[in-house]
Structure 1
């Protein structure tokens, strides 16, 4: 960062402190601003107003932002784990069903691309009813089907061999 020409005051104006960054990144930015003699002003939020980027407020802000980030991350991971334990998928409501899977398998056998398969499928329930699933959704649905088939195949082969 370059210093301002002599006699000119430079201020970095930011909508809210959360827009600057978190943790170490924010602390390094504060040091760069202080070294360049650039002021800091927040337009909204708890810290609305002008601040010295090298001051205590900025140091505390960096620490709190880092802690907030870790807290959000931990709570998100806990929520994902809780959903898995309850047998729930992560993300929104499922848009796929057995009929859609059957059609997708049929279209895959015809060697259509994921994009082509998705364009021919239609969601039949929920808020996205009437829309097409995304290619990643089709890929995930087919992959999960293939994994289920692969998981049951060895047991079926063993049972057939034992019955002979």
Structure 2
């Protein structure tokens, strides 16, 4: 965009050519780019997709495109969160393979309760025993999740 603006400022017509409108960006990123295109008086052309062809950057196309891409981001985010929630209800794990096991949980509980250690200190003492991360330490976030899930299971068992 910067190069197209420099070319245009020298008096030569310039056009920003994009493979497809989705390649321009989403949300705020696209809104900023739309303002830059308008301010630079640079043309806009899409090679493929629903908007194939040349467009006036000051016209409604970029405005509508910006609004639509923001809505698409929200739609993708909402569907992803719904999918995660649905998987949780079915008892499925979200994310990659679990790096924790019962012996790691037992050690983490001992370090938390017996020694009163922080999550970071506990994570430094634990070692992953299988999988691609074998021999590494779990992250403090993983330790926190493991302990929280244990506490929730324990509280649920006591409540029933």
Scaled by the length of structure 1, the TM-score of the pair is: 0.66
- Check 1:120–1:31 CA distance in 2 against 1; reply closer, same or farther (3 A cut): closer
| 1:139 paired residue number | 144
Show structure 1 runs of 5+ residues with no match.
Answer: 156-164
SS in 1 for 2:99: coil
SS in 2 for 1:92: coil
Show structure 2 runs of 5+ residues with no match.
Answer: 1-7
66, 69, 75: which one aligns with 1:62: 66
Return the alpha-carbon distance in structure 1 between the equivalents of residues 110 and 135 of structure 2: 20
| 1:29-62 deviations in Å (ceiling 9; x for gaps) | 52464245355578x8757997542234424432
Task: Give the greater-gyration-radius structure (CA).
Answer: 1
- Check 1:125–1:24 CA distance in 2 against 1; reply closer, same or farther (3 A cut): closer
Return the alpha-carbon distance in structure 1 between the equivalents of residues 69 and 150 of structure 2: 42
Count, aligned residues: 153
> Alpha carbon RMSD of aligned pairs, Å?
3.7
| 1:113 paired residue number | 118
| 1:73 paired residue number | 77
Determine whether 1:85 maps to 2:89.
yes
Return the alpha-carbon distance in structure 2 between the equivalents of residues 24 and 80 of structure 1: 26
